């Protein structure tokens, strides 16, 4: 997958936590941030659905969106 460089401003405490997690996992900061974003956006769920099921793309996206909505409602 193609990567794009970007600049963002985040809380110092959050950045410190990213750096600690990255160091413990032997990963780069960007990798840790991307993994967290993928989890929060539900993209990891979509990837797991693709691997485990023979659903078409539309069905998989629909399930991922449903899961996102369910998660959002549960945390509110």
The model's pTM is 0.58
pLDDT at residue 39, rounded to an integer: 84
- Residue 41: per-residue pLDDT: 83
CA distance 47 to 34: 14
- Alpha-carbon span 76 to 57, nearest angstrom: 29
Q: Would you list the domain boundaries of the chain?
A: 10-41, 42-76
DSSP state of 26: T
What mean pLDDT do residues 23-31 have?
96
Whole-angstrom distance, CA of residue 65 vs CA of residue 12: 31
Q: What is the DSSP string of 7-24?
A: -----HHHHHHHHHHHHH
Count of C-beta atoms within a 10 Å radius of residue 62: 12
Structure confidence at residue 23 (pLDDT): 97
In this predicted structure, the answer to whether residue 36 has a pLDDT above a threshold of 60 is yes
Mean pLDDT of the chain: 85
Q: What is the pLDDT of residue 17?
A: 98
């Amino acid at each position: 997958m193609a990567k794009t460089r970007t600049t963002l401003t985040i809380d110092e405490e959050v950045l410190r936590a990213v750096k600690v997690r990255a160091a413990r996992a032997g990963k780069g900061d960007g990798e840790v941030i991307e993994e967290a974003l993928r989890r929060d956006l539900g993209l990891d769920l979509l990837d797991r659905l693709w691997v485990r099921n023979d659903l078409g793309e539309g069905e998989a996206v629909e399930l991922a969106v449903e899961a996102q909505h369910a998660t959002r409602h549960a945390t509110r």
